[in-house]
Amino acid sequence: MGEDGENTKINHSFLRDYVTEADVISTVEFNQTGDLLATGDKGGRVVIFQRETESKGESEELGESGEYNVYSTFQSHEPDFDYLKSLEIEEKINKIRWLPQQNAAHFLLSTNDKTIKLWKVSERDKRPEGYNLKDEEGRIKDISTVTSLRVPVLKPTDLMVEVRPRRIFANGHTYHVNSISVNSDGETYLSADDLRVNMWHLDITDRSFNIVDIKPANMEDLTEVITAAEFHPQHCHLFVYSSSKGTLRLCDMRDSALCDKHSKIFEEPEDPGNRSFFSEIISSVSDVKFSHSGRYLLTRDYLTVKVWDLNMEKGPVETYQVHEYLRSKLCSLYENDCIFDKFECVWNSTDSVIMTGAYNSFFRMFDRETGRGVTLEAWRESSKPRAVLRTRRIYTGGRRRRGDVGVDSLDFTKKILHMAWHPAENIIAIAATNNLYIFQDRVNAENM
Amino acid sequence: MEYKVEAHRIMSISLGKIYNSRVQRGGIKLHKNLLVSLVLRSARQVYLSDYYSGACLNAAQSQREGNEWEEKFPPSTTECDRVQSPEEPQQDALPEKEREYRENDDAVKSDQVDCTSTLQQEQNQNSSLDSVTYVSSETRPETIIVPKESPSDSTEEAERDSTPEANGESHQPPEKHVCSNRKRSADETESGDSSKKRVKVGSSNAKEDEEAEEMDTSNVSNLITIFGSGFSGLLSKDGAKPESEAEDSGQICCDQMLKNLNPWSTAIVAF
């Protein structure tokens, strides 16, 4: 598929190779309409981009999409300290989730390792003028100078975006929060850490309900942890959580208060031929996403993405190899810690295409209908604005074509872990270290 | 032999990672450390499986399903049973084992003994709440001498445990390497039980290795303690042992390092 490339950078560093750790993007999320795109970084900041509306200018062609520009930036989390355990709490934003919009303001949840915060993002483009007791600068007027009364009126002013914290959900988690998911009921959300899943009400901050607890009585018996969790997109009583053993558990909250007993467990038997020291690590699921239809689950483990049908527990219905050529390199990847990288995976709006990230600034898209995958690159040098992204290939043997990249020349520091797909259109946001790439699919008669 | 080197390397790397996780910002990451500990155990298992490579590797692979003992070690089960009785007076058996141990050929037999003994120890462990069970059989024998259990108890346990399958099932999942550790357990049992110096078998090679690893162990001991309530197989509740008493045969140089993971204090940082 031909794609246009649009390149939006939020990197302020001068030297190309020097990346401030705090600028590394750690999460990307579109809101439900796709007009807003939020990114969180390791420094605890959230940057919200807004899509320019298409109605501007008569010269815009039909189908021309707006660009995303910075809408607001705010500091969501600060570094914190747990005095009891003498542990630092990182301010890195692990996840951002938007709430469905109910009024003019937008709400989003952002979380670091321990604390979830609800932010209200509102615009202000009017301000009251004409106070009786205060002058325009806010200074109190001398009452003797007031000769008549007037009613303050709202006058238009420059657009200001205000972001305020509305709720702070603290002290709910002993372990590191890895996921949050807003329920379809619009009132509750879940947060998952390594061993527990809590359910919160958006209006109540001093209480949360523990719905999954896999902490063993004796910590030495620990064999698996929760790696991701998500509510079903339509059924407010269903949620799924994935484990480090590669299993998925679907839980029904109507069943019991504590959903330790799953309703369904999805796991694929291990292939004994592929066993190695690192089999457990590479089978750990790093991300799980419901399809928009709610019928399928998408999971990512280290080497593959898998599509599961909720009706079939014994194995995935589709498996796609993301970078199978790394299987022989697991030992080196273990040494340099790359084997622990947690890649995300996303569905497109129609659930026909799935996408996930890889190394060397590559990301992969798989067309579910044809079963074929393409490799694309998110790298500033090869992506000029409005350039068409060309597909890349990894050379793993056979005839080598020009432009093929050898496995040994892959840059493992350039990893694409976080990404998002617009809920309705073919627009994707890819986070590559400290850069954000936004690619749009331009359906153009010439390119078809 | 190659895979032994590889396994040893992986073990060192894993321990390094666990150590580094202490100093990482944001606290200890449970998930990553769990995975590292699994790799560590697999590697150790392979490392120690050289005398029993075929069966034990298979056994390791099937462990994940939470098997019974006898499933894991079909060939060894009978042997375990066989040597059950001689094992009862464990202290007496030690010198015997020690001698056996020195001869590689007999290692398997002594290991079998340790298989069951470790099982018992596990059971003992399970009963005591604050005991940190070291799933790996290498530490279990040490627990024989641990203050909590008296040798007589162990003996009783030994008798009860005539069928390995009955035991220690309460924590199946962590037992990844039970069988393969038999050789080490033989070592451990000797030194553990009597706190007497183990007879040095090794060549000068072993000695050098030991020294190198002894230097690592203090760090490792600290880190594992901080690492905390950790995952089965990595903690023992044992008291300190004099480092000098642990001597390995030249072939299992890493044993020294890993064995000395045991003398950790019982302080378990609640994680």
Fill in the amino acid letter for B240. A
pLDDT of residue B24: 82
Whether chain B has a CB inside 8 Å of the CB on A215: the answer is: no
Q: Is the pLDDT of residue A307 over 70?
A: yes
A394/chain B closest Cα distance in angstroms: 28
A414-431: average pLDDT: 95
Q: Between residues 22 and 51 of chain A, which touch chain B (CB distance below 8 Å)?
A: none
A89/chain B closest Cα distance in angstroms: 5
Interchain proximity A277–B13, CB inside 8 Å: no
Contacts of A195 in chain B (CB under 8 A): 30
Helices (H), A284-414: 330-335
Residue with more model confidence, A170 or B264: A170
Cα(A1)–Cα(A391) distance, integer angstroms: 9
Interchain proximity B171–A331, CB inside 8 Å: no
Q: Which tokens hold the place of A42?
A: 């390791």
Mind listing the pLDDT tens digit for each residue in B176-213? 443 434 444 344 443 334 333 433 333 344 443 443 34
Of A40-44, A62-66, A78-82, A441-445, which one has max mean pLDDT? Answer: A40-44
Contacts of A225 in chain B (CB under 8 A): 30-31, 34
Question: Which of A174, A223, A339, A341 is the mutation pick for testing B, counting most B CBs within 10 A?
Answer: A223
- Percentage of residues of chain A with pLDDT beyond 90: 68
Q: What is the DSSP string of A38-73?
A: EEEETTSEEEEEEEPPTTS-TTPPTTPPPPEEEEEE
Q: Between residues 247 and 306 of chain A, which touch chain B (CB distance below 8 Å)?
A: 270, 272, 275, 277-278, 280-281, 284
A437-447: average pLDDT: 66
Cα(A7)–Cα(A224) distance, integer angstroms: 40
Report the residue from A223, A270, A340 with minimal CB separation from B32: A340
Cα(B156)–Cα(B146) distance, integer angstroms: 16
- Kindly list the distances between the CA atom of residue A309 and the CA atoms of A6, A344, A423, in Å, as whole numbers in the listed order: 35, 19, 21
Contacts of B228 in chain A (CB under 8 A): 219
Residue A63: other Cβ atoms inside 10 A: 9
Contacts of A269 in chain B (CB under 8 A): none
Mind listing the pLDDT tens digit for each residue in A289-302? 999 999 999 999 99
- Kindly list the distances between the CA atom of residue A407 and the CA atoms of A328, A394, A395, in Å, as whole numbers in the listed order: 11, 7, 7
Strand order in the sheet with A435-440: A4-8, A435-440, A427-432, A418-421
Q: What are phi and psi for residue B84, nearest 5 degrees?
A: -60, -50
Cα(B42)–Cα(B61) distance, integer angstroms: 9
B31/chain A closest Cα distance in angstroms: 6
Largest CA distance in chain A: 92
Q: Which tokens hold the place of B12?
A: 């060192």
Q: Return the DSSP state at A391.
A: P
**CA closest to A332 among chain B residues:** B10
Cα(A206)–Cα(B142) distance, integer angstroms: 47
pLDDT of residue A330: 92
Q: What is the DSSP string of A271-286?
A: -GGG--TTHHHHHS--
pTM: 0.68
Residues 6+ apart with CB under 8 A from A429: A28, A30, A37, A39, A419, A420, A421, A422, A436, A437, A438
Of A93-97, B96-100, B255-259, which one has max mean pLDDT? Answer: A93-97
**CA closest to A174 among chain B residues:** B271
Mind listing the pLDDT tens digit for each residue in A247-276? 999 999 999 888 888 899 999 998 888 888
- Kindly list the distances between the CA atom of residue B128 and the CA atoms of A400, B144, B148, in Å, as whole numbers in the listed order: 62, 13, 8
Residues 6+ apart with CB under 8 A from A51: A34, A35, A36, A37, A65, A66, A67, A68
Mind listing the pLDDT tens digit for each residue in A1-34? 444 344 444 444 344 455 688 899 999 999 999 9
Contact status, residue A212 vs residue A259, Cβ threshold 8 Å: yes
Interchain proximity A225–B34, CB inside 8 Å: yes
B18/chain A closest Cα distance in angstroms: 12
Which residue, A308, A299, A266, A301, is CA-closest to A282?
A301
Residue B12: other Cβ atoms inside 10 A: 17
Fill in the amino acid letter for B193. D
ipTM of the complex: 0.85
Confidence of residue A386 (pLDDT cuts 50, 70, 90): confident
Mind listing the pLDDT tens digit for each residue in B111-128? 444 444 443 444 444 444
Mind listing the pLDDT tens digit for each residue in B220-251? 444 444 444 444 444 433 333 333 333 333 33
Cα(A54)–Cα(A5) distance, integer angstroms: 18
